[in-house]
Chains A and B, each alone.
Chain A
């Protein structure tokens, strides 16, 4: 088993995803996105391009948005992850960002949406009142092939203007 003083193919990985700990031995080469989807069963995180371009696999790792197709599961060992399933409150109420995408129609086919929601959530956690330019900058690593982005930017602005619609603290961490 890895994480000791000798190199090993099989490593013990423990991560907390949306508040739930998942601990198991995995191959060191396993990508975080596969761990999230196949081990933890959380298929809201999508695999789009698989080349760290499209951003559909974006999750929050240690609070920051990352592309989980370009992170090894073992690199997340000991960390906390939030996926799209972790955004809503325990009672199912939408987070401000989710509600913004509903109010402003920030999606069409929805494939990129989990990544958009996570990148936007990451942005608002450090910059609660971003300008439209700052939103575009923060979403530059997320590709949508339906909307043309205008309504996605509107959605994030809606979330910034309605922070109180966020779920109670802690429920989505």
Chain B
């Protein structure tokens, strides 16, 4: 399988990337690690006219401890997020879950920003950002703006990013109290059939992987926890409002069942009773 023809442009700064997005508009796609986009292009589900390669941008790969939060450059590869001592110490759920994405080869290429900007509901990291209440930073022709993760995922593979905007940074709060990520799949390298990210203690958040067209919070579970429910009671509400699809890996009802079971496991592992 070979992608359809496209014009290729390698940019060397965020400003160059934004200028290219302004010039080529909807015909262009941004290429980071390429491990979401290139498979889609090989299947010709994505046929961009212009591919803007961000690999020449050298100042968007970093993890910085900023006190209240940690700042992660959008082009930081999953393997580097996984290995980051700052994240392992101050927000370990992020480094842990980066280490569950795909397999080592995928993690050597894929980037955290690419994964989030792709907006795939089956992807691991979006749910973590929702559970943590992360903030995403986007740059466009009009400047820089912050977008709450909870406002970022709009539809299937659709995000709050405008066509001329580049995701540049992800800000996650320090979180060293309880956390858990439960990923249910058939093979180690597979996408989650269902996944659950949960944080407890300093903040409480629960979010679901592959339970609808977008990455989503388990709002009924979060509300139950806020009202003082125990883990089992709160987890029983995990699938409320979710509309998971049926496919060869499981029916919609099976996914709802998994969401409840995995949420219970996540909340218990995160320290709730």
Contacts and interface: CB of A to CB of B under 8 A. Distances in A.
Interface of A: 2-3, 5-9, 11, 27-31, 34, 50-53, 55, 58, 61, 64-67, 70-72, 74-75, 119, 122-123, 137-138, 140-142
A141 B104 CA distance: 7
A72 B38 contact: yes
Given A7-B50, A53-B189, A140-B188, A66 B7 contact: no
Contacts of A138: 104
Interface in B1-58: 1-10, 20, 24, 31, 34-35, 38-39, 41-42, 50-53, 55
B103 interface: yes
A7 B7 contact: yes
Contacts of B52: 7
A29 B109 contact: no
| Chain B CB within 10 A, most for which of A3, A27, A52, A122 | A52
Contacts of B51: 7, 28
B248 interface: no
Contacts of A58: 105
B53 A74 contact: yes
B272 interface: no
Interface of B: 1-10, 20, 24, 31, 34-35, 38-39, 41-42, 50-53, 55, 79, 102-106, 108-109, 187-189
Given A70-B39, A140-B103, A29 B189 contact: no
A119 B39 contact: no
| Chain A CB within 10 A, most for which of B9, B20, B24, B79 | B9
A67 to B, nearest CB: 5
A72 B42 CA distance: 11
Given A7-B24, A71-B38, A74-B8, A119 B105 contact: yes
Given A70-B38, A70-B39, A140-B188, A55 B105 contact: yes
Nearest to B109: A66
B188 A11 contact: no
Contacts of B103: 55, 140-142
Contact of B2 (A31, A51, A61): A31
A29 B9 contact: no
B10 A27 contact: no
Contacts of B187: 140
Nearest to A53: B189
A2 B56 CA distance: 13
B6 A29 contact: yes
Nearest to B27: A7
A152 to B, nearest CB: 14
B45 to A, nearest CB: 13
Contact of A72 (B1, B34, B189): B34
29 contacts: A2-B8, A2-B9, A3-B10, A5-B9, A7-B7, A7-B24, A7-B50, A7-B51, A8-B7, A9-B6, A28-B6, A34-B2, A51-B39, A51-B42, A55-B105, A66-B109, A67-B105, A70-B35, A71-B34, A72-B8, A72-B38, A74-B10, A75-B31, A119-B105, A140-B187, A141-B104, A141-B105, A141-B189, A142-B103
Contact of A64 (B1, B6, B34, B108): B108
Contact of A9 (B7, B38, B42): B7
Contacts of A51: 1, 39, 42
B5 A29 contact: yes
Contacts of B55: 75
| Chain A CB within 10 A, most for which of B42, B50, B103, B106 | B103
Contacts of B106: 52, 67, 141
Lowest 9 A-B CB distances belong to which pairs? A141-B103, A28-B8, A7-B7, A64-B108, A140-B188, A7-B9, A29-B3, A67-B105, A141-B105
B189 A8 contact: no
Contacts of B8: 2, 7-9, 11, 28, 72, 74
